[in-house]
Amino acid sequence: MDSDRRDCHLNMLSKMAMCKSHGQDSSYFIGWQEYEKNPYHPIQNPSGIIQMGLAENQLSFDLLESWLTRNQDVIQFRENGGSMFRDLALFQDYHGLQAFKNVLVSFMGEIRRRKVKFDPEKLVLTAGSTSANETLIFCLAEPGEALLLPTPYYPGFDRDLKWRTGAEIVPIHCYSSNNFRITESALEDAYEEAQRLNLRVKGVFITNPSNPLGTTMSRDELNNLITFAMAKNIHIVSDEIYAGTVFDSPKFISIMEALIDRKHEKSKMWSQVHIVSSLSKDLGLPGFRIGMIYSNNETLIAAATKMSSFGLISSQTQYLLSKILGDKKFIKRYIKENKKGLKKRREMLVSGLENSGIECLKSNAGLFCFVDMRHLLNSNTFEAEMELWRKILLSDVGLNVSPGSSCHCSEPGWFKICFANIAEETLDLAMQRINDFVSSMNLQRRQLIAAASASSSRRRTLANWVVKLSSGEGKTYR
């Protein structure tokens, strides 16, 4: 009876409500769920799971908190001796305070070394980059049309780009042999695969700097991508939410900078390239939900602006952040100190893993490293990767890291590990746990090898005796 009642309720829901393509069953999300059941705390739960699957930047909160302490009027919504509370509590421009848009484009230009000048009239504000990405796909693709994405990519894109839009993702397979760079042949192979599947390709979607690789795209890669998109007459979406986290060479090159260098300002491609940006990673404020779409396509901007009505940013949030971003001296210092902190933290992670015999892909940006654990697999399969992941997450180590398969990596044995969301002491503990785990694995392997060697030696000894006996050696005659 209960089953019948449940089925009846389910039949009354929409297809969207029952859709299974959200991606919640991905190991990426499962890891979060396991962490939430047993979160590490240095005192209350020292044996709990350490969260290293969260790309969150907590390294520069002291700078932001110090600024807020010095600017109490901003927190209290006071300006020129009067209160701004009533103005901010009432309806403002639905689609963004002009002062906020002005400082946002200035900030975008600052972290791109002033190589690109952004126009606030070409900016759409959304409640986070998740909303920005989905809004863009609604504008670019019909249900059943496809976007090409280089692998590995952020697991959440399966939700953000596909779930409600009905769009499809066709992977551009990249490999460790060239540090997962996007090649011309990989682009062509993905396009041909989409055609084989009878999918119309509407664009290429990149993340630069890359999540999960922590690398920036080279000028040659960007030029190849632009040439490819022009030849196919498709769009390019460049998710650049990690642009402000580039802490080492080579320097970050925005897709817009690459277009300008090619003198494409008056070409058709100028209106077919779109940027997604955010304050979640660069400023470390994911809870404030600030996402942005930037495009030279007037029709797309008009459509995206209308769609953004379903995910607005509060006026109070915009007011506060406009004051922070408007302090140019502070922002320059923040960017510099934040990058310094990220570089130091990455070096800590890389050094700690090297002590355990584990290497990382060389990276220069982001809040994470792509870690090579292929030598720890029992076999070169994704099943073996998941077995290792379960040991790291649950049974042996207690770390939530993201397996490469959740990022659609084409090779088993890679893991994404985040380093900017935990304290240094917690990172040290995580490295000690990994070291203990690897040492234990190596000991077990040596014991297995020794046991196998001893068994083989016994078999050889027995075989030698059999040979001797069969040849008459060692016989005693009475």
Residue pLDDT, tens place only, 171-193: 999 999 999 999 999 999 999 99
Does 1 score more than 60 pLDDT?
no
Mean pLDDT across the stretch 156-170? 95
Q: Report yes or no on 461 lying in a domain.
A: no
Does 163 score more than 70 pLDDT?
yes
The domain total for the chain is: 2
- pLDDT at residue 470, rounded to an integer: 66
- pLDDT at residue 471, rounded to an integer: 63
Claim to verify: residue 316 and residue 356 sit in the same structural domain = no
Q: Report yes or no on 463 lying in a domain.
A: no
Claim to verify: residue 188 and residue 229 sit in the same structural domain = yes
Query: What gap in Å lies between CA 83 and CA 81, rounded to an integer?
Result: 7
Q: What does the buried/exposed string (b/e) look like for 179-188 if buried means 16 or more CB atoms within 10 Å of the residue's CB?
A: ebbbbeebbe
Distances (CA, A) of 133 to 113, 292, 406, 417: 24, 9, 19, 24
Query: What gap in Å lies between CA 294 and CA 107, rounded to an integer?
Result: 13
Within the chain, how many helices (H) and strands (E) appear? Answer: 17, 15
Q: Which has more pLDDT, 60 or 12?
A: 60
Claim to verify: residue 159 and residue 28 sit in the same structural domain = no
Q: Report yes or no on 33 lying in a domain.
A: yes
Q: Which residues are catalytic?
A: 154, 239, 241, 281
Q: Which has more pLDDT, 443 or 121?
A: 121
Claim to verify: residue 51 and residue 195 sit in the same structural domain = no
Claim to verify: residue 51 and residue 86 sit in the same structural domain = no
Q: Which band of pLDDT confidence, cut at 50, 70 and 90, is reported for residue 478?
A: very low
Distances (CA, A) of 352 to 53, 236, 371, 445: 17, 38, 12, 22
Q: Report yes or no on 132 lying in a domain.
A: yes
Distances (CA, A) of 342 to 34, 246, 315, 369: 27, 9, 31, 11
Domain range for 407 is 21-58+341-437
Per-residue model confidence as pLDDT tens digits over 387-425: 999 999 988 899 999 999 999 999 999 999 999 999 999
Q: Report yes or no on 358 lying in a domain.
A: yes
Looking at mean pLDDT, say which of 28-42, 65-79, 230-244 comes out highest. Answer: 230-244
Query: What gap in Å lies between CA 402 and CA 35, rounded to an integer?
Result: 12
CATH number, domain with residue 288: 3.40.640.10
- pLDDT at residue 278, rounded to an integer: 97
Q: Report yes or no on 12 lying in a domain.
A: no
Per-residue model confidence as pLDDT tens digits over 325-362: 999 999 999 999 999 999 999 999 999 999 999 999 99
Q: Report yes or no on 194 lying in a domain.
A: yes
Instruction: Look up the pTM and report it.
Output: 0.90
Per-residue model confidence as pLDDT tens digits over 420-474: 999 999 999 999 999 999 998 888 777 777 776 666 666 666 666 655 666 655 4
Residue 57's nearest CA partner among 247, 238, 237, 216 is 247
Q: Looking at this protein, which amino acid is placed at residue 382?
A: F
**Angle, CA of 68, 72 and 77, to the nearest 5°:** 105
Claim to verify: residue 53 and residue 168 sit in the same structural domain = no
Q: Report yes or no on 7 lying in a domain.
A: no
